[in-house]
Amino acid sequence: MELTTTKFEEEDHCPHCGYELTAASSTNGHVPSPGDLSICIKCYTFLQFDENLKHQLISDEDIPVEEYLALTEIKTQLLLNK
């Protein structure tokens, strides 16, 4: 799996566990933009970027089913590669 990693200009923290998030990785070359979904590499909570590209909590029911499945797949990969 090819990963594109984008470093954040300002450091951010996971709103769930407080882990310092310094970069985001994508499997399709995508650069983070507002509204994108992400996942904490520490606690595996699903997150969403706000308009300032800060991580926000998002509840499972607010995530479209296809994106939820994709995130779950990524989470599984992260857990397997721990």
Cβ distance to Zn ion smaller for residue 19 or 68: 19
**Smallest distance from Zn ion to CB 38, Å:** 10
- Residues numbered 11 to 70 that lie near Zn ion (CB under 5 A) are 14, 16-17, 19, 40, 42-43, 45
- Report how far residue 32's alpha carbon sits from residue 65's, in angstroms, rounded to the nearest whole number: 20
- Report how far residue 65's alpha carbon sits from residue 43's, in angstroms, rounded to the nearest whole number: 21
Cβ distance to Zn ion smaller for residue 31 or 43: 43
**Smallest distance from Zn ion to CB 77, Å:** 17
- Report how far residue 51's alpha carbon sits from residue 43's, in angstroms, rounded to the nearest whole number: 23
**Smallest distance from Zn ion to CB 61, Å:** 20
Cβ distance to Zn ion smaller for residue 39 or 65: 39
Burial of 1 (0-12, 13-18, 19+ CB in 10 A): exposed
